[in-house]
Amino acid sequence: MSVKSGTVALVGKPNVGKSTLINTIIGEKIAIVSDKPQTTRNRIGGILTTKKGQIVFYDTPGIHKPLHRLGQYILKVATSSLAGSDLLLVIVDPTDGLRESDRLVANHVNQSRIPVFLAINKVDEYKNERLLQDFQAKAEELFNDIRRTFLISAKKGDGVEELLETIFDFLPEGKMLFPEDLITDRSSRFMASEVIREKVLQNTRQEIPHSVGVVVQEFSDEGNILKIRADVIVERSSQKPIILGKGGSMIKIIGTEARKDLEYIFDQKIFLDLFVKVREKWRDKDTLIQEFTNLRDELQ
């Protein structure tokens, strides 16, 4: 029997809901989510397999103006993820409006000459119909090759079913690209480092979230327990006490929340040990960026 298959890159400025949508589509946590822009640093594949076929969705970092070397790398991952996709799913956020950063996204998308589906996300928070129509018209003007526009809520799942059906209809006939029980192209080790980083992002403020890298030093399955030891890297010594918290209270919260999520994801008991380390200005040093962000493979 023939099936439909192809790759779809989720594209948009930071914070529009790309990672939330990929998690809703796959029905599992594939990509971490926070209310801070530039949460996603890597290209992360989420694999949807149904009777109709298989779609590989790529969550990409938000397209933005880079402020440091790490930002340049992340932008490169975001823009190079577009190439080779069968379809771009561009996400815009009416609660934030259209900004310069959406125009930056449109430049990259239009240059790619890949067909576009436009998803207007967070409609659960944006109920005024006239304003929404206005927003939709302005967003559609930005992109050259829009085939369809959808109003969705990635968080609540509204409109997502119709979106998926239409993507399947659009994709060519082909063969399954991955084994049918696989839901991501990322390793368990990668997931562990991302979930730890998510908990840092969710529990800290201002510049801390963006200054953090996570390196998994040990990941060993000891039968009845999965042992994970990881370093949380910050870029200034003044940031270390903030991550540790009073008497170690903050790192304890981060560790407990990460352990609970990882136990759910891996369906296994986990022993998680976290260490906070300082590497001055790591976000501006090439070798340290590759070491602390899992970007090494993507940038080759």
Q: Is 12 annotated as a binding residue?
A: yes
Identify residue 207 by its one-letter amino acid code.
E
Q: Is 169 annotated as a binding residue?
A: no
- CB-nearer residue toward ligand GTP: 39 or 54: 39
- CB-nearer residue toward ligand GTP: 45 or 53: 45
- CB-nearer residue toward ligand GTP: 5 or 42: 42
What's the min distance (Å) between Cβ of 151 and ligand GTP?
Answer: 10
Cβ-count burial 102-119 (b if 16+ within 10 Å, e if not): bebbbebbeebebebbbb
- CB-nearer residue toward ligand GTP: 121 or 211: 121
Contact yes or no for 221/197 (Cβ under 8 A): no
- List contacts with ligand GTP (CB under 6 A): 12, 14-20, 33-35, 37-40, 61-62, 121-122, 124-125, 153-155
Q: Is 13 annotated as a binding residue?
A: yes
- CB-nearer residue toward ligand GTP: 36 or 277: 36
**DSSP 8-state assignment for residue 124:** G
Q: Which residues contact 194 (CB under 8 A, 6 or more apart)?
A: 31, 32, 214
- CB-nearer residue toward ligand GTP: 156 or 252: 156
Structure tokens at 243: 């991550």
| Phi–psi pair at 232, nearest 5 degrees | -100, 115
Residue indicated by tokens 């449109």: 106
What's the min distance (Å) between Cβ of 225 and ligand GTP?
Answer: 30
* Pairing state between β 3-11 and 87-92: parallel
Q: Is 115 annotated as a binding residue?
A: no
What's the min distance (Å) between Cβ of 150 and ligand GTP?
Answer: 12
What's the min distance (Å) between Cβ of 296 and ligand GTP?
Answer: 20
Structure tokens at 143: 């992109």
Contact yes or no for 294/42 (Cβ under 8 A): yes
What's the min distance (Å) between Cβ of 68 and ligand GTP?
Answer: 16
Identify residue 69 by its one-letter amino acid code.
R
What's the min distance (Å) between Cβ of 221 and ligand GTP?
Answer: 29
Q: Is 124 annotated as a binding residue?
A: yes
**DSSP 8-state assignment for residue 210:** H
In whole angstroms, give the CA distance from residue 122 to residue 158. 9
DSSP 232-279: EEESSGGGHHHHH-GGGHHHHHHHHHHHHHHHHHHTS-EEEEEEEEE-
Q: Is 203 annotated as a binding residue?
A: no
Q: Is 159 annotated as a binding residue?
A: no
- CB-nearer residue toward ligand GTP: 87 or 154: 154
What's the min distance (Å) between Cβ of 12 and ligand GTP?
Answer: 6
Q: Is 110 annotated as a binding residue?
A: no
Q: Which residues contact 42 (CB under 8 A, 6 or more apart)?
A: 61, 77, 186, 190, 293, 294, 295, 298
Q: Is 76 annotated as a binding residue?
A: no
Binding residues for GTP: 12-19, 59-63, 121-124
Binding residues: 12-19, 59-63, 121-124
